[in-house]
Amino acid sequence: MKNCYINLSMFLLVGSFLFSCKNEPSPPTPYGALPTESQLAWQKMEYYMFIHFGPNTFTNVEWGDGKEDPKVFNPTEVDCRQWAATAKAAGMKAIIITAKHHDGFCLWPSNYSTHTVRESLWKDGKGDLLKELSDACKEYGLKFGVYLSPWDQNHPDYGTPAYNQTFANTLTEVLSNYGEVFEQWFDGANGEGHGGKKQEYNWDLFHQVVYKHQPQAIIFSDIGPGCRWMGNEKGIGGETNWSRLNVTGFEPGKNSPPVDTLNSGNIYGEKWVPAEVDVSIRPGWFYSPTTDDKVKTLEHLMEIYYTSVGRNANLLLNVPPDRRGRIHPTDSTRLMEFKEAREKAFKENLAKGKVFASSVRGNSKTYSPDNLFDGNYDTYWATDDKVTTASLEVELTEPQLFNRLLLQEYIPLGQRIAEFNVEYQDQQTGNWLPLTKATTIGYKRILCFPAVRTNKLRINITHSLACPVINNLEIYQAPDYSLDNEENRKTVQTLPFKEAFVVNLGEETNIKGFFYVPENKVEAANIARYNFYISNDNKNWRRLKANDLFNNIRNNPIRQDVLFDDNVKAQFIKIEPLELTNESENYSLVELGVIK
């Protein structure tokens, strides 16, 4: 009897061991290119501040030409602690500053340039903005990042092979003197022809320098390797947004992939290069008093939040300090409103109840759909490897009114889902009705739809590249904002490329400059290079600007203001297009007018 007992317990022990092995399948095999630990940590930051500050802050231009007198840089009350305090209060996780923009002006006293804060009037040439900002970031628990433009319109080495080493030296300075740098931002812009000089960049060298001093840093450029440009400066990430990208054969800048590829990534892309959305709270990147009344509305910022963080991208929001060296009260007020609006929208997660899955990996509790509600990033629902279509049915404890659905894929195992739809059960009829559909999810996807009241919701994954792996599902009822973007309401005229555009001012007018409002679309054919004339009789023309370039109009097609050296008098003005932002036989023009 005793023997028999032993045998039975051994049998039970072995049996339960076998049973648990059978029910404990291994985690899903990672799919495709994967994020590094730094990329995962970076993705979880979601939202941080961009700071454009330099001579342009004082000169009303977006691209300084490097010939400006460094003395124009003279902020009277720089307060980097105010920037950091504002970023912190706004819910941001970091600040990235334009250490050197295209004018070559260095915000630290670089040993490799004579166009720096040292040559400015600020603090009698004794200041170091990178020091002040990196200290402020440490104090406020924010990460610190640096933007450096390889394109440099001031440095005498630019356009010669020596420049690559000069730029590497410059990089070394900013990456070794100010503590940890979480992101190194390389601008791809290069208005070649503007300064006339061309430069072959040694990207391998630049990357080596970054990783030598800051091995954990995320390198931003059009093609990464850490994260990629989203393809526009309007804050609009792709509705389809893969964090993978094909990079072989491409370079940042002129040889980068087309903007629509940057916008959506590549489904089977070879590298993990997630998207970052960079956009300014004002029309331009630098402060100008002319934009004090053009700070983006709360509605616009909320829209941007949904088209960036809500579409699997990080949001880098530019807040340019003013001429005192402080964040302007309008901008900081808007940031606080934005924070409050997000808090309101995501105040109460209504996803409470039960969730059923059409299929669970190995029928194991480890991969149960309950993990979607547990708030733990590292637990997830998954199906068996061969199961690539599946449904999740959420049964809420009680009917709820909601208009947002937030989903997250567990990206340490790769991005998988390519198409899904959402249905809800009609309370009266019991019928399932379509609610919304989408393609990718990635790290985070927030779907917005007209509010419905129901207690049952179904997510049907109709196409996944490997078994789906989802770690979070949240439901919200957010206040709706309707976006009324003034720029989009204006009428766009399309004119033949060969035809100049003339405006009759009605009478002889005293003018300081002119403005051109392009079509506010990156894909539009706007005027990039032009001649500009004035006349009193519409016959005899005097040319005031020859072969001039509108700054950054390709990526940021906003109103362009051009001031003349001296005031002039004229009744007629004329713009003659010489080059367009995109190849076309016609060009777009919303308005041409004068600045009096």
- In terms of CB distance, is 164 or 552 closer to ligand FUL? 552
Is 277 a binding residue for ligand FUL by CB under 6 A? The answer is: no
Is 555 a binding residue for ligand FUL by CB under 6 A? The answer is: yes
Q: What are the residues whose beta carbons fall under 8 Å from the beta carbon of 59, sequence distance 6 or more?
A: 68, 72
Strand bridging mode 469-476 / 390-409: antiparallel
Residue 145: how many other CB atoms lie within 10 Å: 27
C-alpha pair distances (Å), 222 with each of 182, 258, 336, 433: 18, 10, 30, 41
Residue 385: how many other CB atoms lie within 10 Å: 13
Are 502 and 588 a contacting pair, CB within 8 Å? no
Number of residues that bind ligand FUL (CB under 6 A): 7
Q: Give the CA radius of gyration of the chain.
A: 28
Is 184 a binding residue for ligand FUL by CB under 6 A? The answer is: no
- In terms of CB distance, is 359 or 552 closer to ligand FUL? 552
- In terms of CB distance, is 189 or 413 closer to ligand FUL? 189
Is 97 a binding residue for ligand FUL by CB under 6 A? The answer is: no
Per-residue mark of binding to ligand FUL, 37-76 (x: CB under 6 A): -------------------------x--------------
CB of residue 389 vs ligand FUL: minimum separation in angstroms?
41
- In terms of CB distance, is 164 or 280 closer to ligand FUL? 280
Per-residue mark of binding to ligand FUL, 279-298 (x: CB under 6 A): ------x-------------
What is the Cα–Cα distance from 528 to 550, expressed in whole angstroms? 6
Q: Is 527 helix (H, G, I), strand (E, B) or coil?
A: strand
- In terms of CB distance, is 109 or 231 closer to ligand FUL? 231
Which segments of 426-500 are extended strands (E)?
Answer: 432-438, 445-464, 469-476, 493-496
Is 187 a binding residue for ligand FUL by CB under 6 A? The answer is: yes
Is 278 a binding residue for ligand FUL by CB under 6 A? The answer is: yes
Provide the total of helices (H) and of strands (E) in the chain, helices listed first. 11, 24
CB of residue 526 vs ligand FUL: minimum separation in angstroms?
15
Is the N-terminal amide bond of 225 cis, ω within 30° of 0? yes
| Residue of 184, 359, 552, 560 interacting with ligand FUL (CB under 6 A) | 552
- In terms of CB distance, is 189 or 558 closer to ligand FUL? 189
CB of residue 431 vs ligand FUL: minimum separation in angstroms?
49
DSSP state of 233: S
- In terms of CB distance, is 485 or 555 closer to ligand FUL? 555
Per-residue mark of binding to ligand FUL, 235-274 (x: CB under 6 A): ----------------------------------------
- In terms of CB distance, is 189 or 245 closer to ligand FUL? 189
Q: What are the residues whose beta carbons fall under 8 Å from the beta carbon of 252, sequence distance 6 or more?
A: 186, 188, 201, 203, 221, 222, 223
Q: Is 391 helix (H, G, I), strand (E, B) or coil?
A: strand
> Which residues here bind ligand FUL, judged by CB under 6 A?
62, 187, 189, 278, 285, 552, 555
